[in-house]
């Protein structure tokens, strides 16, 4: 006989979004049931952010050994122990996993069910032999690699970000399908680990990010020896003698390339197929579950958060979704999603970090948009560190209110939070220009760029006359 549970919240999915809601709600004394069919921690912990950033960190150190000559140190060609690298990636995952474990959430008072969930009707979910009738449901089932329909791909061995971190042997030539964040990050990492890398994409690399910043990253990757083929339409994939052959068309010409490994990084798709959402009267699109700005579905008892709602798909955005739902479902507040306050980040070297309106969006919404810039090359810390490739670009309206910011360069992701705060608090460039920054730091880029807002004033005749008159007063 089925067990019947009647919690306040039933969360489907134990990734970053679902776990954020579960932990917070349970600590407020809310009865919570959490259903997860796979590994706790979801994509970010097991196959996404954590392993990929560990891999990138290893590649960065290998590259530093090659580039040591400019610092007066004899450069060394690194020797990579791929089995040890594999073990390190999984040891990092294991060190974080207890925070996301069944044991921790059970101790918090969450009833964890390790099974597959499906809706029976608008107010009921079945998970194995357990039936759940909750006051509110939260779908946080995440996403999986989207596999394109390319002839021969289904019969050819390929990697995704779900499987690439299981490799324990060297990769001689990695072919990457897709020049989005996953493809560019993993492509650079494997190039720095000694592989030849070719990236193919139908459009421009990093098409959703600031075009100027994307060009900077592309140049760096190409300088490191990565071949990037844009406007390349893949027509066939096949396995030949243990290697992978890719045929593609570019500019009307038929071309082909052969490599040892193939990574498919052509986007992600929402994990919704097994949920029987139609029985719950929940609408979907080709990108995921349709929600309003409070993350609520058409079914007023059901919310959806994280990657399952479609792009943009960031772990920090999933956590923000979770905060919105907590305030709505638990405290009856009515906060809503504002994507202009959510940072967009890329962790290649150099990094890209963005917040607020893009340049195109700013020009659509505002008549007079000012663009303030400062290059990394004119920053003393960047010179000392040898990280002079990059820039900061601030978008303001005519009154100096900050509309957006793009940072392309070293540590960009660590510097963007200040601009998140500036936009959230409706700060002006004057507020930034008036801050005192420690010297020498990359953070000074913010002040230098902000001060350029006042350059046109220096050419105003009345201000020049005022300065002259004040000088005469002594």
The answer, yes or no, to whether residue 466 has pLDDT greater than 80, is no
Percent of the chain at pLDDT exceeding 70: 96
> Does this chain's domain 3-145+269-340 share its CATH topology with 153-267?
yes
Q: What does the alpha-carbon distance between residue 73 and residue 262 come to, in Å, rounded to a whole number?
A: 36
Q: Decide if pLDDT at 19 tops 90.
A: yes
Mean pLDDT of 87-111: 96
307 has binding-site annotation: yes
Q: What is the pLDDT of residue 462?
A: 59
**How does residue 429 score in pLDDT terms, banded at 50, 70 and 90?**
very high
Residue 123 has pLDDT above 80, yes or no: yes
**153-267 belongs to CATH 3.50.50.60:** yes
Confidence of residue 458 (pLDDT cuts 50, 70, 90): low
Both tokens assigned to 89: 């990636």
What are the C-alpha distances in Å from 229 to residues 178, 226, 442?
10, 10, 33
> Residue 421 pairs with which residues in a beta bridge?
none
The pLDDT of residue 474 is 61
Phi, psi (deg, nearest 5) at residue 28: -90, 5
Say if CB 400 and CB 430 are below 8 A apart: yes
Rounded Cα distance between 212 and 193, Å, is 27
Q: Is the pLDDT of residue 459 over 80?
A: no
Reference 15, options 122, 105, 120, 148; nearest CA is 105
Mean pLDDT, rounded, of the chain: 94
Query: Could you write out the DSSP letters of every residue in 74-117?
Result: --------HHHHHHHHHHHHHHHGGGG-HHHHHHTT-EEE-S-E
pLDDT, one tens digit per residue, over 445-457 is 999 999 999 877 6
Which pLDDT score is estimated for 463?
A: 54
pLDDT, average across residues 295-306: 96
pLDDT of residue 329: 84
Supply the pLDDT for residue 55: 97
Instruction: Work out whether strand 261-264 and strand 268-270 pair parallel, antiparallel, or are unpaired.
Output: unpaired
The pLDDT value recorded for residue 393 is 97
Say if residue 213's pLDDT is above 60: yes
Q: Is the pLDDT assigned to residue 469 strictly greater than 80?
A: no
- Over residues 22-48, the pLDDT tens digits come to 999 999 999 999 999 999 999 899 999
Averaged pLDDT, 397-418: 96
The confidence score (pLDDT) of residue 467 equals 59
Please check if 267 is assigned to a binding site.
Answer: yes
Percent of the chain whose pLDDT exceeds 90: 90
Q: Is the model's pLDDT at 464 over the cut of 70?
A: no
406 beta partners: 354, 393
Q: Which residues of 91-115 are buried (b: 16+ CB within 10 A; e: fewer)?
A: ebbeeebeebeeebbeebebbbbee
Q: Is 185 annotated as a binding residue?
A: yes
The pLDDT assigned to 24 comes to: 95
The answer to whether 427 and 407 are in contact (CB under 8 A) is: no
End-to-end CA distance of the chain: 94
Per-residue pLDDT band at 321 (split at 50, 70, 90): very high
**Local structure of 355: helix, strand or coil:** strand
- Residue 141, marked binder: yes
Per residue in 241-254, pLDDT (tens digit) is 999 999 999 999 99
- What is the Cα–Cα distance from 265 to 160, expressed in whole angstroms? 6
Q: Write down the pLDDT at residue 90.
A: 97
| pLDDT for residue 320 | 93
Please state the domain extents for the chain: 3-145+269-340, 153-267, 350-458
On whether 180 is known to bind a ligand per the annotation, the reply is: yes
53 in a known ligand binding site = yes
pLDDT at 470: 62
CA atoms within 13 A on the CB side of 161: 32
Query: Could you name the CATH architecture of 3-145+269-340?
Result: 3-Layer(bba) Sandwich (3.50)
Helices (H), 241-302: none
Tokens 């195109």 correspond to 360
Model confidence pLDDT, tens digit, residues 138-168: 999 999 999 999 999 999 999 999 999 999 9
Establish whether 182 is an annotated binding residue. yes
Two tokens at 349? Answer: 């070297």
Please spell the DSSP secondary structure of 210-237, one letter per residue: -HHHHHHHHHHHHHTT-EEE-S-EEEEE
Rounded Cα gap, residues 3 and 361, in angstroms: 52
Would the annotation count 181 as a binding residue? yes
Q: Is the peptide bond before 243 cis (omega within 30 degrees of 0)?
A: no
In the structure, what pLDDT confidence band is assigned to residue 332 with cuts at 50, 70 and 90? confident
DSSP-assigned letter for residue 328: I
Q: How far is CA 76 from CA 62, 69, 196, in A?
A: 9, 9, 19
pTM greater than 0.85 (yes/no)? yes
Residue 393 near residue 446, CB atoms below 8 Å? no
| CATH number of 350-458, picked from 3.30.390.30, 3.60.21.10, 3.30.2320.50, 3.50.50.60 | 3.30.390.30
Q: Are 324 and 312 in contact (CB under 8 A)?
A: no
- Region label for 367, one of left (φ > 0), alpha (ψ between -120 and 50) or beta (otherwise): alpha
């Amino acid at each position: 006989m089925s067990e019947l549970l009647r919690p306040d919240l039933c969360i489907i999915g134990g990734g970053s979004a679902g776990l954020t809601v579960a932990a917070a709600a349970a600590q407020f004394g809310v009865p919570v049931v959490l259903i997860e069919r796979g590994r706790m921690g979801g994509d970010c912990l097991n196959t996404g952010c954590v392993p990929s950033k560990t891999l990138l960190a290893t590649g960065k150190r290998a590259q530093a050994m090659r580039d040591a000559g400019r610092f007066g140190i004899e450069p060394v060609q690194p020797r990579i122990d791929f089995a040890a690298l594999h073990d390190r990636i999984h040891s990092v995952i294991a060190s974080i996993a207890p925070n996301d474990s069944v044991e921790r959430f059970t101790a918090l008072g969450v009833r964890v069910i390790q099974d597959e969930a499906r809706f029976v009707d608008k107010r009921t979910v079945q998970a194995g032999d357990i039936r759940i009738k909750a006051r509110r449901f939260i779908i946080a089932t995440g996403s999986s690699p989207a596999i394109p329909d390319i002839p021969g791909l289904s019969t050819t061995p390929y990697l995704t970000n779900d499987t690439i971190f299981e490799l324990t042997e060297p990769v001689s030539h990695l072919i990457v399908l897709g020049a989005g964040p996953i493809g560019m990050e993993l492509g650079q990492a494997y190039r720095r680990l000694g592989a030849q890398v070719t990236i193919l994409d139908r459009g421009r690399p990093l098409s959703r990010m600031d075009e100027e910043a994307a060009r900077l990253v592309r140049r760096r990757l190409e300088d490191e020896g990565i071949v990037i083929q844009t406007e390349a339409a893949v027509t066939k994939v096949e396995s030949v003698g243990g290697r992978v052959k890719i045929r593609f068309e570019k500019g009307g010409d038929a071309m082909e390339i052969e490599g040892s490994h193939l990574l498919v990084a052509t986007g992600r798709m929402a994990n919704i197929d097994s949920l029987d959402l139609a029985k719950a009267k929940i609408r979907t699109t080709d990108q995921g579950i349709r929600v309003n700005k409070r993350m609520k579905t058409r079914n007023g008892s059901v919310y959806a958060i994280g990657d399952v709602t479609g792009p943009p798909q960031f772990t920090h955005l999933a956590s923000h979704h979770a905060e919105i739902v907590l305030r709505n479902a638990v405290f009856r507040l009515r906060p809503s999603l504002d994507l202009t306050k959510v940072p967009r980040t890329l962790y290649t070297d150099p990094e890209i970090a963005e917040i607020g309106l893009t340049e195109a969006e700013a020009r659509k919404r505002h008549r007079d948009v000012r663009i303030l810039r400062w290059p990394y090359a004119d920053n003393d810390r960047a010179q000392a560190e040898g990280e002079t490739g990059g820039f900061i670009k601030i978008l303001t309206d005519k009154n100096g209110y900050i509309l957006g910011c793009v940072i392309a360069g070293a540590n960009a992701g660590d510097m963007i939070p200040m601009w998140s705060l500036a936009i959230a608090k409706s700060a002006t460039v004057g507020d930034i220009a008036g801050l005192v920054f420690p010297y020498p730091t990359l953070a000074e880029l913010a002040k230098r760029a902000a001060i350029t807002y006042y350059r046109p004033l220096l050419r105003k005749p009345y201000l020049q006359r005022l300065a002259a008159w004040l000088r005469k007063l002594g």
